[in-house]
Each structure stands twice: as C-alpha cells, then as structure tokens.
Chain A
C-alpha cells in the first residue's frame, strides 16, 4: 500500500471516529439517538475496510481469482455472522427470551428471512445446473 493510500485510509478512519463519537456524545449527553450519524458512521466504516482490503472505497476494482475467492468466502461467512447478530439484536432490543413476547415484528421477520434467504437462493441457483 503506497503513501497516498495509507493517508486516505487514515482519513476515512478519522472521519468514522468523528461521526461515531458525535453519535455517542449525543446519545449519552442528550439522550438523542441520531439515525443519520449512525448511518454515516457505518458507511464510513465500510469505506475504511474496503479501502484497506481492496484499495477502493466500494470494494470494486480489478480482481484476480484469489480476490474473487476471498470475496465469495467472506460473503458466506458474513451472511452467517449477520444472521447471528440480527438474532442477538432482536432479543436484546426486545428484552424477551420468549418468541411470543416479541412485539417488533418487522425485526422478527428480518431474522426469520435470514434463515430462508440462503436455502432459497441455493435452490434457485441449483436449477441452473440441472
């Protein structure tokens, strides 16, 4: 990674820290949860990791087969991590261990969709080879 790339990566991380810090400050100091700051913080964090890994803030650019392999494997692992995290967030935000006590139905449906999205996609994709 050359010098200019390192500087851009560092700047992206600083921008993320500022946005995340601002979100936390508003939350702890005033009890306000700023959706726009949270959104921007996560966007900047994704830009940072994309930049560090691929040298492109959107994860694009020219890739050889090892890069594509890394992307494919990461997508699979990322899917399962997201499935677990969404389940955690559901139970923590609802504070309920019983599924029947959950009131946030949109989030419950999102968690349930994470269970079926991969099998359905695999089913449809497998048709292509049969």
Chain B
C-alpha cells in the first residue's frame, strides 16, 4: 500500500513526532508507514486520516508491493 501521509502532513505543518503524538503511536511507526515499510491497521489508518482531515481513499492507494502486515 502506498500513501500520501507526508504530503498531507506537510500541508498541515505537522512533524512526524506531532502526528505520532496525535495518533498515540511512536514517531518510528509514522516514519515506517510514510516510507512504505509497514502497512498500518485499519484503526490507525482511520486515526491518521482523521488527524490529517482527509479520507482514507485520499491517503492510501492500493499497490501490490508495500509494507509488512500479516498479523
């Protein structure tokens, strides 16, 4: 899964740390998602979208190659 978190985050003038704090996760988690190393859970994806004020569809794009998620 690809995403536009960085783009929307910068539009909102939020740092990775601030976004992480607002979503109750660590900065490393936001960094891993932004760099497509990890696909977030549905709950976290909704949380990030809500904080950035966009819809899930705008934020995440399906692609076969993507981050890890197989729990």
User: A65 and B68: CB pair below 8 A?
Assistant: no
User: A69 and B68: CB pair below 8 A?
Assistant: yes
Listed stretches B1-9, B23-31, B54-62; interface member: B23-31
Knowing A64-B29, A65-B44 touch, does A73 contact B24 (C-beta < 8 A)? no
**Which residues of chain A (94-117) have a CB below 8 Å from chain B?**
none
Which one, B24, B26, B71, contacts A69 given CB within 8 A?
B71
Which residues of the other chain, B, contact A73 by a CB distance below 8 angstroms?
A: 68
CB distance from B9 to the nearest CB of A (A): 17
User: B38 and A69: CB pair below 8 A?
Assistant: yes
What band does the interface of chain A fall in when counting residues whose beta carbon is under 8 Å from B? under 10
**Which residues of chain A (41-81) have a CB below 8 Å from chain B?**
64-69, 72-73
Which residues of the other chain, B, contact A69 by a CB distance below 8 angstroms?
A: 38, 68-69, 71
Which one, B26, B68, B69, B71, contacts A64 given CB within 8 A?
B26
Contact string, B12-25, partner A, CB cutoff 8 A, digits 1/0? 00000000000011
**B41 on the A face (CB < 8 A):** yes
**B51 on the A face (CB < 8 A):** no
CB distance from A20 to the nearest CB of B (A): 31
User: B32 and A64: CB pair below 8 A?
Assistant: no
Q: Which of A66, A67, A68 has the most CB of B within 10 A?
A: A66
Which residues of the other chain, A, contact B29 by a CB distance below 8 angstroms?
A: 64-67
**B40 on the A face (CB < 8 A):** yes
Knowing A69-B69, A69-B71, A73-B68 touch, does A64 contact B38 (C-beta < 8 A)? no
* Chain A residues within CB distance 8 Å of chain B: 64-69, 72-73
In the complex, the 10 A-B pairs of residues with the closest C-beta atoms, listed nearest first: A66-B29, A64-B25, A72-B71, A64-B26, A64-B29, A65-B41, A66-B38, A66-B32, A65-B44, A69-B71
5 pairs, A vs B, C-beta closer than 8 Å: A64-B25, A64-B26, A67-B26, A67-B29, A72-B71
